[in-house]
Structure 1
Amino acid sequence: MSSPRISVILPCYNEESYIANAIESVLNQSFTDFELIIVNDGSADNTLSIINGFEDSRIRVIDQENLGPGASRNNAMRIARGEYMMFLDGDDWYREDALEIAYREITQKDCDLTFYQMINYDDETGDIYENDWFNLTTLDELDGKVFGPEETPGSIFDLSVGVCQKIYKSSFLRKINAEFPEGIFFEDMPFFYYVYLKAKRISIIKEHLYFRRKHDASITHVVDGKFLDTVPAGQVLMRIFIENEWYEMYKFDLLAYKINGPRFALRYIEEKYKIALYELIKKDYTEIKSSQYYSDFLENLGPVKKKFFLDIIASRNYQDFIKLNS
Structure 2
Amino acid sequence: MKKRIFSLLMLMSAFVLVLAACQQADPKGSYAAAYKKLISAKSYEFSSDIGLKVDASNLGAEDKQFADMLNDATLTISGKTNAETKQSEAVIKAKLKVQNMSLDFDIPVYMDEKKQVGYIKIDSVLDSFGIFLGTAGMNFDSVKGKYLEFPLEDDKSSSKDTDELQKQLMESIKEAADNLPADKFEKADLTDKEKEQGASQKVAFSFSDKEIKAAVVKFIEIAGKASGEAVPKSELNKIKDGLKDVTFKKFDVTSTIDDKENLLTENADISFSVDSKKAPQSFGITASTTYKNIDGDVKFEHKPNKEDIVTEEEFEKLMAQDAMNF
Is the shorter-chain TM-score for this pair beyond 0.5, marking a shared fold? no
Structure 1 or 2: more helix by fraction: 1
Instruction: Please tell me the TM-score bracket, short chain as reference.
Output: under 0.3
Instruction: With a CA cutoff of 8 Å and minimum separation of 6, indicate the structure with the bigger relative contact order.
Output: 2
TM-score, normalised to structure 2, is: 0.25
TM-score, normalised to structure 1, is: 0.25
Q: State the structure with more CA Rg.
A: 2
Structure 1 or 2: more strand by fraction: 2
